[in-house]
Structure 1
């Protein structure tokens, strides 16, 4: 339902918008509203939104960015308190709006409607609670279409469309200040909509459901390489350490690489003076690497810090300095790209013209979702400490207004990636706000056929059928974490729609038949499937065993969701369907020639670890048989091995079959990435494209849920299980977050004696399973200590 105040303000835009402005990548428009206040202000909550993105200043102070990513039917607004920034006398609201073309271009994860627009609603309240002024968007606002910034789609960041070329001499410098001369600006036009007969406006406003992204000032760590420069290294170091200005003579080129110390996301900020005609280029890169095999998809990477044998590759921002004579070190010229950049390294290229140029400062403001990491982990293996730190950092870098596959290249929210990221978030912070938004995002993406889109929000629809099932898995995870019955009941109809699609796809053998060839039947970025972009060979010819088994598993999880929501009849129906699917796979997708292992499709003798994993997770194979097929899959070269994307599910199958000690060896690629000086985990070993992909943060889950052994065994963490795994360690300790609070675990070995101490929210019952097989249930109290012989 639209908020009651929504009609008090108007959606506005510039009257000189032309059809050609809707072509290309995107265009900026500036808006101003000056007003006077005669007395003090107690509060002013400004509600603001735009199509497509905005940045707001109040009296020259940057206040907020947005709106949060939504879609056509859920257009978010931000509510920001600005009362402390208003004053008696003249005030100004200034807004920069970026409009992405309706027909495509720019950032693919940012929705846009058929109309561009800006919306501002601001009631100014005095100390008595009386509204003394309204500063809503209407025809009194003025605007200017920007002609100084050209956006390009880029080669490396082609999903984003954020690369800027700026001619600062054409930019209205200081336009957000009250004293700026805006005589040449024009008045806006306001839209009028007929909403009396059920017609929807282009923007159906909803309040932002997640907190604002944080912005924290950061400095670069060091200069990693100087390619060309008359300026000594020490002067560059002083620039990034303490903003000590660097002077560049006329007709000079300086090229220097700066290292942030870790891969990060942030808003770059340059401050400068003099230097009219100087051109500055900024190239952001994840790492040093050898020349790409195929730009941007296939890469050749090793030591990410090797500046001797490697090079930086990426798209450039270009800034042509105005050299405005009124600017000085006390009032410098500033350049900050509109969208945040992802980088560990930034190459700064400065080419001066006929005048000297002063670079006064260069840093960045780190940004991301405000993830409050309350969990911790340390063990007797110091290598695990490093893997933990890299995993947490990777997750942070892939959380902004949505979860993201990778912050550098796409910034798109994919279901498979996000399911794992949400689980990691629960254990690290106990925060489910971004998860709840994610559930709604994919629910909103549901297509008439019954499948969700594989990535959303996105202005270009994409379907990976199996990814719809991961959305069901993440709902089940949330049921176990939070126990929100209303949330589950709300989404059950969408769950049923997804399961209904797979049910209708069954063939006469009872298997889920071959998917629509226009869909991408992706399973994993396995090296042997790279020619088919992660699709098993068998899936091109007929039913995919993996999809059949994923469907069976989803039916089981959906049955538990339905029971939890009180829909017992539906739950029983799902259970019956799941058993039918398991039986169909047993009858049609097993190989007697290969010890009863599951093939990748009926009538096929092609094998993968994936088919065995999902046979185990779905309960199609259990007990000794499940252990046997998993052992074969791990050791037989005929089986396609998993990539990082599927590792979470591989580890679950190992846990279920008593083979979890294999995980240490399987973490070898993570240890190699750490040796290659990655500070975040890469996407896969096939393309080596992205150096930040949070499905690789699986060590977080393994250390908390397996090594420390903390898991929910009743919805809403209504009952906790603690089952530590010793493996090759002799000590581990840490904190795991639940929806009720933290669980603290410490265990260590003394010879054959195992010592455990645990503390958890005292109102929650807990089942403790010790390595010697002993089981203890503690109903209340929230604490337990024990010392036992492992042989008992």
Structure 2
């Protein structure tokens, strides 16, 4: 086995610059140097000779920000997953099936975003490619040198929160044969060696994306040269188009997640995502080369007179998911529909990380990931994406010991609630794997979070004025159940949290502290002292002995859902108050955002009210997953319906709590790494559900929970092939 010695190559324009460090705490903004390079597309080629002796070849490949790989004209894969340069990824690719005896060409379409965003660690001046080929029989390696050309075929403005450049594509400036062996690259320039010292390259711990091209069947002509496309449901990907026309003729491409009140493609609505692009044709037949992906369902194609539209296909992309591994079939249509809605959302929302949405942000948010990761592990049986997520947020300790809330992009945002939930990500891995060594590796991060928040303790050890981070409680604001405290806004510099001491941040602090002690117990480490004293202060300030509820803030008389869900979730509510608090949750229902439903349903299940959990899952009330479906969603969405948020996203997997709730609380597969099977079977399938069959992967087996002809809920095991 050879450890690759990857060498970076870049373009002359960037080879001699000192890379910029974009890291900073949110309350300490920094002005980044401008390099005059954004939205850069570079085509690069390298030739490679294969002798006549049969051999297996592995390509080790990385690029910053991104690559798409072709060998002898065949598209192979793309990557790497976004990462920080201090722990950057390369992909290990078996290229043997694509090679020919003799000369071969390896071609990459490279991209540099060049602006601060939530996806790539960009705007730092680092752009390049690194590659090496290893002959697995002889264990010899070949480094690749590159020739390149900067492509001017792409132009456009940014959309969303500066997460994507629109792609106005000009086929007159594009040669479709650029990745073929016979292409003449004699006029291309050689790439230069880069001199970056801080890259630490490791093999990407997750698979590369699953990418699939498929036909589109629902196409209708609205009028002459005006076509409407419906791909059937929300997707992440791009349209693949072929057309024939004269040089300079255009096709306008509009994409959107929904239709407006007139049934037209709603591409221009106030959500900061306006998917309107123009394709300029060359003479003859052309192919649209989309690089970036979108989240959409509908499209309009408006073609110039005389242009012939030859082909419309769809290119889908997401992290690999075998959809047959985890399935639900029951006699309750609502239950099945909600499960599938959330499954679709997790599939599309797991790209090369757990993205919050595939449209305006595309970032991996810590709080969102806590919900999405649990769903995704259940659906796939794999923890590689979860572990990458745990690690990438742990890396942000170098920026703030209290962690950043977006990782690994260059956008610096901090949310206190999310930081305090990071240890839940770590414990999700332990729940599924029982791996104490992984737990031990990241224990310092869990302790560091508690240490960071200690700096905001007042004399009685409660947190006060946590001004450095956004105090979220729930989002959007109208789903905070009238929480009685000035939380400020998302802009912590200009709209910080109000002065004083409030419940949710302290409840989450107690939770993080308690989980830290649990980790220390599992690892046989000395317990970090102080939790009991902190708890007594929490009771003294926030517990109302008359109502047996927790109040929102010091001096308040109001008790929101959110002030009571976390004491129940972390199991530090007084025994005398649990019934009253549970009744509050039942009475208020989902008077909250979609993410926090996970905690409410867990609380109700723990209190023995799984009957209520089931009813919430299949509910058709305004705040329900069925209401999302009624409003046209095919993936779980950002809020209950689009009228509730001005920049609503139809795909937002932080709403996927039903996946884990159905599996764990209804089917009854309760994770417990201390048992031989890794779980305890405690089914709670209601009697009214006549048919119930759930399959789910866990470890090396697939578990089947089913209701037999006698109405008994049973379990069996199948081997995963």
Does the CA contact (< 8 Å) of 1:26 and 1:106 recur in 2?
A: no
SS in 2 for 1:54: strand
C-alpha distance 281-15 of structure 1, shift in aligned 2 (>3 A): same
Following superposition, the deviation at residue 14 of structure 1 comes to: 2.5
SS in 1 for 2:143: coil
TM-score in terms of structure 2 length: 0.87
Decide which of 150, 168, 174 is 1:145's aligned counterpart: 150
Deviations 1:14-50 (A, max 9, x none): 2255999943641111112234445245122111111
Partner of 1:89 in structure 2?
102
Give me the whole-angstrom Cα distance separating, in 2, the residues matched to 1:87 and 1:335.
28
- 1:258 and 2:233 aligned: no
Partner of 1:248 in structure 2?
none
SS in 1 for 2:458: coil
Give me the whole-angstrom Cα distance separating, in 1, the residues matched to 2:608 and 2:9.
63
Partner of 1:215 in structure 2?
211
Aligned length: 679
Please show how residues 61-140 of structure 1 align to structure 2 within 5 Å.
Answer: 61-101=74-114, 104-105=115-116, 108-111=119-122, 113-124=124-135, 129=138, 131=140, 135-138=142-145
Partner of 1:5 in structure 2?
4
Give me the whole-angstrom Cα distance separating, in 2, the residues matched to 1:289 and 1:96.
36
Following superposition, the deviation at residue 221 of structure 1 comes to: 3.7
Following superposition, the deviation at residue 358 of structure 1 comes to: 2.3
Does the CA contact (< 8 Å) of 2:118 and 2:411 recur in 1?
A: no
Does the CA contact (< 8 Å) of 1:609 and 1:634 recur in 2?
A: no
Following superposition, the deviation at residue 544 of structure 1 comes to: 2.2
C-alpha distance 648-37 of structure 1, shift in aligned 2 (>3 A): closer
Following superposition, the deviation at residue 719 of structure 1 comes to: 4.6
Give me the whole-angstrom Cα distance separating, in 1, the residues matched to 2:45 and 2:656.
44
Partner of 2:21 in structure 1?
none
Greater gyration radius:
1
Give me the whole-angstrom Cα distance separating, in 2, the residues matched to 1:523 and 1:270.
45
C-alpha distance 4-708 of structure 1, shift in aligned 2 (>3 A): closer
Taking only aligned residues, the RMSD between alpha carbons, in angstroms, comes to 2.9
Please show how residues 197-276 of structure 1 align to structure 2 within 5 Å.
Answer: 201-223=197-219, 226-227=221-222, 229-230=223-224, 254-276=225-247
- 1:461 and 2:412 aligned: yes
- 1:759 and 2:709 aligned: no
Give me the whole-angstrom Cα distance separating, in 1, the residues matched to 2:102 and 2:487.
71
Deviations 1:454-477 (A, max 9, x none): 111110111101211221011112
C-alpha distance 256-158 of structure 1, shift in aligned 2 (>3 A): farther
Does the CA contact (< 8 Å) of 1:597 and 1:629 recur in 2?
A: yes
- 1:724 and 2:686 aligned: no
Partner of 2:671 in structure 1?
712
Please show how residues 494-513 of structure 1 align to structure 2 within 5 Å.
Answer: 494-513=445-464
Does the CA contact (< 8 Å) of 2:693 and 2:707 recur in 1?
A: yes
- 1:586 and 2:539 aligned: yes
C-alpha distance 192-589 of structure 1, shift in aligned 2 (>3 A): closer
Give me the whole-angstrom Cα distance separating, in 2, the residues matched to 1:286 and 1:317.
16
- 1:173 and 2:164 aligned: no
Of the structure 1 ranges 741-750 and 182-191, higher mean CA displacement relative to structure 2 is found in 741-750
Does the CA contact (< 8 Å) of 2:473 and 2:480 recur in 1?
A: no
Following superposition, the deviation at residue 148 of structure 1 comes to: 2.3
Does the CA contact (< 8 Å) of 1:549 and 1:581 recur in 2?
A: no
Partner of 1:698 in structure 2?
657
Give me the whole-angstrom Cα distance separating, in 2, the residues matched to 1:603 and 1:535.
10
- 1:557 and 2:515 aligned: yes
Give me the whole-angstrom Cα distance separating, in 1, the residues matched to 2:590 and 2:628.
22
Give me the whole-angstrom Cα distance separating, in 1, the residues matched to 2:53 and 2:255.
45
Partner of 2:437 in structure 1?
486
Does the CA contact (< 8 Å) of 2:253 and 2:300 recur in 1?
A: yes
Deviations 1:193-240 (A, max 9, x none): 6xxxxxxx24221111111111122222413x644x32xxxxxxxxxx
Partner of 2:705 in structure 1?
745
- 1:29 and 2:42 aligned: yes
Deviations 1:324-383 (A, max 9, x none): 5xxxxxxx421121112221112212124xxx3222211122111012241222233122
Following superposition, the deviation at residue 687 of structure 1 comes to: 0.8
Give me the whole-angstrom Cα distance separating, in 2, the residues matched to 1:339 and 1:41.
37
Does the CA contact (< 8 Å) of 2:248 and 2:282 recur in 1?
A: yes
C-alpha distance 586-318 of structure 1, shift in aligned 2 (>3 A): same
TM-score in terms of structure 1 length: 0.80
Deviations 1:90-125 (A, max 9, x none): 321212111222xx2466444464332111212346
Please show how residues 507-586 of structure 1 align to structure 2 within 5 Å.
Answer: 507-516=458-467, 518-528=468-478, 537=487, 540-567=498-525, 569-570=526-527, 573=528, 576-586=529-539
Does the CA contact (< 8 Å) of 2:602 and 2:661 recur in 1?
A: no
Partner of 2:337 in structure 1?
386
